A and B are shown apart, each in its own frame.
Chain A
């Protein structure tokens, strides 16, 4: 993995630690090795969270669309 991303093993391990803390990956012990799996459900939660923020903008911009068309109609 370190080779693939052109970074040190320590750096990879640090990234894995953060991803694990965020629950974006799930560890699975297999003998003396740990396999990490992508946690799609958590990613979806994150996506949903960001979507709420996006929604705020969407509402604002829709309001602006309405205002712009009102102004255009007046002219």
Chain B
């Protein structure tokens, strides 16, 4: 994985905020689409071997995306994202919350802010995740931990090998 793309990840427990910055080797239009169109989101947001499935998505202020992360044994973890602000190809904000399969929210949720900046042939995406509840931040980190942990080293190696072949 010698793609040399900037990746910065910081957790500020005191501010209950996670900061993520990542550079992508693609135009702003393409990266924006990858974050805002269901058919593209479903192709990358679930860390393998999980997969994502969007039931519906209405990318507009006040609109929502209702989707699931599905584990290899078929268990679905549903979430709802409500779009609270959109500035095309610049920034969007979303309130994200776990839900059950009937779309009933399991509060509290977290606030996500995505900012996109194009420079040359690359695009940088800055993400901040604010959790009002420290327990929620903890839960989010733990879920990430579990997913990371579930991936066996072999799975990861396979994925990396496939990726490097394709590049």
Are B25 and A65 touching (Cβ within 8 A)?
A: yes
Given contact pairs A49-B145, A68-B24, A68-B25, A63 touches B34 in the complex (Cβ within 8 A): no
Query: Would you give the shortest CB distance from A21 to chain B, in whole angstroms?
Result: 15
* Interface check B147, CB cutoff 8 A: yes
Q: Which segment, of B39-47, B55-63, B100-108, faces chain A?
A: B39-47
Q: Total A-B pairs in contact (CB under 8 Å)?
A: 79
- Which residues 21-64 of A have a CB within 8 angstroms of B? 49-64
Nearest A residue (CB) for B20: A57
Query: Would you give the shortest CB distance from B137 to chain A, in whole angstroms?
Result: 11
Q: Which residues of A contact B25 (CB under 8 A)?
A: 65, 68-69
Are B163 and A66 touching (Cβ within 8 A)?
A: yes
Query: Would you give the shortest CB distance from B2 to chain A, in whole angstroms?
Result: 12
Are A63 and B145 touching (Cβ within 8 A)?
A: no
Chain B interface residues (CB < 8 Å from chain A):
1, 3, 5, 7, 9, 11, 20, 22, 24-26, 30-31, 34, 40, 43-48, 141, 144-145, 147-149, 151, 156, 159-160, 163, 166-167
Chain A interface residues (CB < 8 Å from chain B):
49-72
Q: A53-B145, A62-B159 are in contact. List 9 more A-B contacts (CB 8 A).
A: A49-B141, A51-B148, A59-B48, A60-B45, A62-B1, A63-B43, A65-B5, A65-B25, A66-B166
Provide a sorted-by-A list of 28 A–B residue pairs whose CB atoms are within 8 angstroms. A49-B145, A51-B148, A52-B149, A53-B141, A55-B151, A56-B147, A57-B9, A57-B20, A57-B144, A58-B7, A59-B47, A60-B44, A60-B47, A62-B159, A62-B160, A62-B163, A63-B43, A63-B47, A63-B48, A64-B44, A65-B5, A66-B166, A67-B44, A68-B26, A69-B25, A69-B26, A70-B166, A71-B30
